[in-house]
Amino acid sequence: MKRKPGARALRRPLANAPRIGAWISVQVELVEGRGQHVWPRPGRLIAASVHHSFGQLAGAIEDGFARWDRSHLHEFELGDGTRIGSADPESDFDDTVLDERRLNLSRLKPGEQFIYVFDLGDDWAHLCTVGKSRIDPVETLGVVPDQPLSYFGWGSIPDQYGRGWSGDDGETEPPADPELTDLPPLRPGWGRPGGRSMPTLP
């Protein structure tokens, strides 16, 4: 299998990487969140060892979809109804939800589909599909990582809170486009012509 565009070119294993066992590819597509369907659906391809845990896969999904606030519960749901997720430190752990730290990905079958939900309130739901064939991490990624790792992707990733700019409060109109004049003159075209610009920090 040829390495996808944008894959890492390095070819040395990372320290403590799980080198033994099969590696799989998981396609993750964002379907909906905050009460709205997302279309076209942005997605990521993630390489993972079958010895990685569901918790590690969750972390790779959050990295791939630019989730910066990780203080939310999340959960996998397999096709047979099995629920795998994180414990709520402020309440008794739901014993119907299996601990994501203790279960590894070896239970997944080629072609299997399952759901991943981040933030059980805003309900960012993803469809996950296991690739039909195993992958070689060195050939696909250029490295043998110690965590699941995205190696291909597409689409526009929405902000997890729907913010369009740093001061977005959900009511204020977006500011006018300053057309680069608010930037420091660190490259051609930035800043005010003939002078230095002082950027305004929030």
**CA–CA distance, 176 with 167 (Å, rounded to integer):** 13
Full-model pTM: 0.79
Residue 12 has pLDDT above 50, yes or no: no
| pLDDT tops 50 at residue 9 | no
In a domain, 198, yes or no: no
Question: Which domain does 74 fall in, by range?
Answer: 23-154
Q: What is the pLDDT of residue 153?
A: 97
Supply φ then ψ for residue 109, to 5 degrees.
-110, 150
Average pLDDT in the chain: 85
pLDDT (tens digit, 9 = 90+) per residue, 43-90?
999 999 999 999 999 999 999 998 877 778 999 999 999 999 987 666
The reply to whether 40 falls in a domain is yes
Q: 162 in a domain, yes or no?
A: no
Q: Which DSSP category does 53 fall into?
A: B
Query: What are the helix (H) ranges across 13-136?
Result: 54-64
In a domain, 7, yes or no: no
Does 13 score more than 60 pLDDT? no
Instruction: Say how far residue 86 (Cα) sits from the centre of its chain.
Output: 16
Q: Is residue 188 part of a domain?
A: no
Tens-digit pLDDT profile for residues 157-201: 888 777 778 887 888 898 999 999 999 999 999 998 866 545 555
Whether the per-residue pLDDT at 16 is higher than 60: the answer is no
Q: How many helices (H) and strands (E) does the chain have?
A: 2, 9
Tally of domains in the chain: 1
CA-based nearest residue to 31, from 117, 94, 104: 117
Q: Tell me: pLDDT of 1 over 50.
A: no
Is 161 domain-assigned? no
Residue 79, domain member (yes or no) = yes
**Residue from 16, 7, 15 nearest 138 by CA:** 7
Q: Any residues with CB less than 8 A from the CB of 132 and at least 6 apart, and which? A: 110, 111
